[in-house]
Amino acid sequence: MYIVRIVKKMFGNRFFEINQQGMLQIFILIVIALVVVVTIPVLVMKVFPAADLIMRIILIFLIFTTVRGYLGSGIPTILVTGVLIYFLVIKWAYFTAAMYIAVYFLLALQVFSIVIFGIGMGMRKG
Amino acid sequence: MSIALIPTMFALLSIGEFFSDMVFVLKIFVLLTIISWIVMHLGKGPLSIVLIIGISWFVLFDAFWLFGGTYVLMMLLTLGVAGIFIDLFFVFPGFAAGGGKPGGLPAEAKMSSQGGVNQRMNLFRQKPGGTRKLPPPM
């Protein structure tokens, strides 16, 4: 109730008029769906060591290709790739895998639009 | 009490280390973008090197608070985040209040040039299962 009072003070009743159309529930469902989808590769990497290795190899290839696209083939590419591999693949591999799934599968391949659309269709009345 | 736990949480979960590492990685990507852009326009000459050093110093060390966020926003827009917001706010507004019903709120795309938006809106207006015929019961 304290949160409701704060929201009412900040936005007035307009926020709750929006919620009458079910927007708040939709946003919560979308956030939950996003978190679940992004967590899947991390769980798979934790459960299956082979998947962990394959995902790291994919990330290494991705980083090297990206850096080579910027700098071309040469020593700077290898140096920058090494630094990025240390941080993204060795140190924060699970976060990078989750971001890889989120960015490439959900955003670039428009899967996130399907998730939003599916939730909207599922909550439709009539 | 709970506020006092925040620094402990930061230390235990190493959020500060994670944040600083990600800022460093972001700076590397911004530097790569600057180098690529200048080399693409001016080639590999002394003027390019001077410009790379000058712009990199300004962007990475002087005003990264501005350019870091701008770079992230630009990357997200490049990857199609705008399409998601169009889906959320313009394709099916008011659908939970009966947007698909005949007497419900009309779902209209107010601004979009995306090709598939109208198709998705029409699909949304249809009744569930209205377009496909179910097979007869055996």
Q: Where are the domains of chain A?
A: 25-123
- Identify whether the C-beta of residue A95 lies closer than 8 Å to the C-beta of residue A23: no
B136 is a domain residue: no
> Which whole number is the average pLDDT over B52-74?
93
**Residue B73 shares a structural domain with residue B7:** yes
* A contacts of B99 (beta carbons < 8 Å): 124
Residues B102 and B68 in one domain: no
pLDDT higher than 60, residue B129: no
pLDDT digits (tens, 9 = 90+) for A27-44: 777 778 778 888 888 899
- The answer to the question of residue B45 being in a domain is yes
pLDDT at residue A48 above 90? yes
Does B128 reach chain A within 8 Å, measured CB to CB?
Answer: yes
Q: Name the average pLDDT for chain B.
A: 74
Contact A88, B28 (CB under 8 A): no
pLDDT band per the 50, 70, 90 thresholds, residue A106: confident
Has residue B19 been placed in a domain?
yes
For residue A17, name the pLDDT band (cuts at 50, 70, 90).
low
Tell whether B71 and B86 lie within a shared domain: no
- Report residue B33 as tokens: 């973008």
Question: Alpha carbon of A50 to those of A64, A97, B13: distances in Å?
Answer: 21, 14, 27
Please indicate, yes or no, whether residues B116 and B52 belong to a single structural domain of this protein. no
pLDDT of residue B107: 47
Question: How far apart, in Å, are the Cα atoms of A80 and each of A65, A69, A86, A105, B29?
Answer: 12, 12, 10, 25, 10
- pLDDT (0 to 100) of residue B96: 45
Most A-contacting residue of B21, B37, B77 (CB-CB within 10 A), to test interface: B21
Number of folded domains that form chain B: 2
Percent of chain A with pLDDT over 90: 40
Look up residue B39 and give its two tokens: 């080399």
Q: Which of A56-70, B75-89, B99-113, B119-133 has the lowest mean pLDDT?
A: B99-113
Residue B56 lies in a domain: yes
Cβ neighbours for A112, distance < 8 A, ≥ 6 positions apart? A34, A106, B84
Q: How far apart are CA B16 and CA B24, in angstroms?
A: 12
Residues B19 and B67 both lie in one domain: yes
Contact A93, B18 (CB under 8 A): no
Q: How far apart are the first and last CA of chain B?
A: 66
Average pLDDT over residues B5-14: 64
Residues B72 and B85 in one domain: no
In order, the DSSP letters of A79-95 are HHHHHHIIIIIIISHHH
Chain A residue with the nearest C-alpha to that of B22? A87
Give the residue numbers spanning the domain of B10: 2-78
Establish if B38 touches chain A: CB-CB under 8 angstroms.
no
Share of chain A above pLDDT 70, in %: 68
Which pLDDT score, from 0 to 100, does residue B4 have?
61
Report the gap between the CA of A88 and the closest CA in chain B (Å): 8
Contacts of B81 (CB under 8 A, 6+ apart): A107
Q: Are residues B87 and B64 in the same domain?
A: no
Report yes or no for ipTM above 0.90.
Answer: no
Are A22 and B97 inside 8 Å of each other by CB? yes
For chain A, give the mean pLDDT: 81
Please indicate whether, in this complex, the C-beta atoms of A120 and B120 are within 8 angstroms of each other.
no
Task: Report the amino acid identity of residue B23.
Answer: V
How far is B47 from chain A, CA to nearest CA, in Å?
A: 17
The per-residue pLDDT for B121 is: 62
Q: Does B93 touch chain A if contact means CB atoms closer than 8 Å? A: yes
Q: Pick the range with the lowest mean pLDDT from A93-97, A121-125, B52-56, B110-114.
A: B110-114
Q: What is the pLDDT of residues B84-96, one digit of tens each?
A: 777 766 665 555 4
Note whether A84 and A68 are within 8 A (CB).
no
Rounded Cα distance, B95 and B73, in Å: 29
**Range name among A81-85, B83-87, B113-117 with the lowest pLDDT average:** B113-117
Give contacts of A 95-124 with B, CB under 8 A.
95, 103, 107-108, 110, 112-113, 116-117, 120-121, 123-124
B80 reaches A (C-beta below 8 A): yes
Query: Per-residue pLDDT averaged across A59-70, rounded?
Result: 94
Say if residue B10 is in the same domain as residue B71.
yes
Which residues on chain B are in Cβ contact (under 8 Å) with A89?
A: none
pLDDT at B81: 77
**Domain for residue B130, yes or no?**
no
A48 or A21, which is more confident? A48
